[in-house]
Amino acid sequence: MTTEVGAPIEFRGVSKHYGQTVALASLDLRIEAGEFVSLLGPSGSGKTTTLNILAGLLAPDAGTVTIGDCDVTHVGPDRRDIAMVFQSYALYPHMTIAENLAFPLRARRRRQPADAIATKVRAVADTLGIGHLLERYPREVSGGQQQRVALGRAMVRDPKVFLLDEPLSNLDARLRLRMRHDLKALHQRLRSTAVYVTHDQGEAMSLSDRIAIYRSGVLQQFASPIEIDRRPVNSFVANFMGEREMNMVTGEIAEDAGRAVFRGGALTIALDPAGPWTRLLGRKVTLGIRPEGVRVGEAGESATVDARVRLIEHAGAEQIFFAEAGAAEFCGRVATDVAVRAGDTLRLTLPRRELYLFDTDSGATLVHAGEPAGSP
């Protein structure tokens, strides 16, 4: 394996339409050399389209794609020096595992002597722990092993760019975690540029240097996992990240006896006077707080709300409760040793640094994690 770092990638104004459907709307994205980037978004949001355009399998309607310093917009997939792992693995069913691994090395443009190929195949197979399977056919090995063969076939020729389209989605939960770990280790060793498509935000969070979040063909935000988590640009991104949906209450910021309050329907939440609220007075906003942010019991100057427990779910080491306050519902978590039952009234604390405010109409973030967003 080489130690040289992968190539940077740049999309400039790339778009793709299928009839009326906008698969990708004017994408601008620059991925640095050696970076691990995840494309994350709901089904049909344009992730695969982005990847296929980058691979050269799909021609964009407009825009340019560069890999390294070359404009590859009109270069075929066989000349882009990329490797791709497909969701279906796409192992060649009529070839043994060894032949599958050797296939990229036998291509005319990088033909090598047979013994050099054999050495490389052996090395890659041993790295991935599939050395004992070389003589078998793809259908004769397990799903996890097939997945590693697919990875190996991509690794074997030291590509500058690695593309992975949901490579772990066909594996069971345990194996997925292990492969996630292996992938991360692999990338740290190879330092190729990696673009990784996934539905699973846990995967994206743990693997990526930066995450690109898509919605209906439009890139919403491209930033580090922490940035995305703490400073989402809009309510879509905020809601998309996190294990459970964010609690959202629509309403407005009003003034009550000289204090800023959030008023949504029958619900009034007194806000921390130190907060950046005053300049939002009268604005139609949506208050958001993650289930992890909701605390039970009172704490200092934070906003509180009394809510009636509707439902409890047990989830391993904690309980998830759903509690109603007026028309709003809050989901939150408490430890298992706290006695809560449906019908109880809980005093919920909404700490200032967990509060988000979004413009109700545009969805743009006004306040994240208690801090005002750049410019409203």
Partner 1 sequence: MPRSARLLMRALVSLAIAGAALFPILFGLATSLKPSAEIAAYPPTLLPAAPTLAHYREIFASGTLGYVWNSLFVSVATVVLCLGVGALAAYPLARFRFRGKSAIMVLIVVVMSVPVASLLIPTYTLVADVGLVNTHLGLILVYSAYQLPIVIWILAAYYQSLPEELEWSALIDGYSRLETLWKIVLPLARPGMIAATLFVVTFAWNDFVVAVTLLSSEEKRTLPIGIYNFLGFYGREWGPLLASAMVATLPILVLFVFLQRYFLAGMTGGSVKG
Ligand X SMILES: Nc1ncnc2c1ncn2[C@@H]1O[C@H](COP(=O)(O)OP(=O)(O)OP(=O)(O)O)[C@@H](O)[C@H]1O
Q: What phi and psi values does residue 96 have, to the nearest 5 degrees? A: -70, 170
- Please list the helix, strand and coil fractions of the chain in percent, rounded to the nearest 5, in that order: 30, 35, 35
Decide which of ligand X, Mg ion, partner 1, none touches 94; Cβ closer than 5 to 8 Å per partner kind: partner 1
**Closer residue to partner 1 (CB): 80 or 295:** 80
Question: Residues 4, 18, 243, 278: which binds ligand X (CB under 6 A)?
Answer: 18
Measured CA distances, 18 to 21, 40, 41, 59, 337 (Å): 5, 21, 19, 12, 54
Among residue numbers 37 through 96, which ones bind ligand X (CB under 6 A)? 41, 43-49
Among residue numbers 332 through 351, which ones bind partner 1 (CB under 8 A)? none
The verdict on 195 binding partner 1 (CB under 8 A) reads no
**Closer residue to ligand X (CB): 47 or 180:** 47
The verdict on 88 binding partner 1 (CB under 8 A) reads yes
Q: Which helix (H) or strand (E) holds 201?
A: helix 201-207
Q: Phi-psi region for residue 117, left (φ > 0), alpha (ψ -120 to 50) or beta?
A: alpha
**Closer residue to partner 1 (CB): 103 or 322:** 103
**Closer residue to ligand X (CB): 37 or 124:** 37
Residues 6+ apart with CB under 8 A from 123: none
Q: Which helix (H) or strand (E) holds 186?
A: helix 173-190
The verdict on 23 binding ligand X (CB under 6 A) reads yes
The verdict on 167 binding ligand X (CB under 6 A) reads no
Residues 6+ apart with CB under 8 A from 174: none
Among residue numbers 17 through 56, which ones bind Mg ion (CB under 5 A)? 48
What is the nearest approach in angstroms of ligand X to the Cβ of residue 40? 9
What is the nearest approach in angstroms of ligand X to the Cβ of residue 227? 22
188: tokens are: 């740290």
What is the nearest approach in angstroms of Mg ion to the Cβ of residue 228? 20
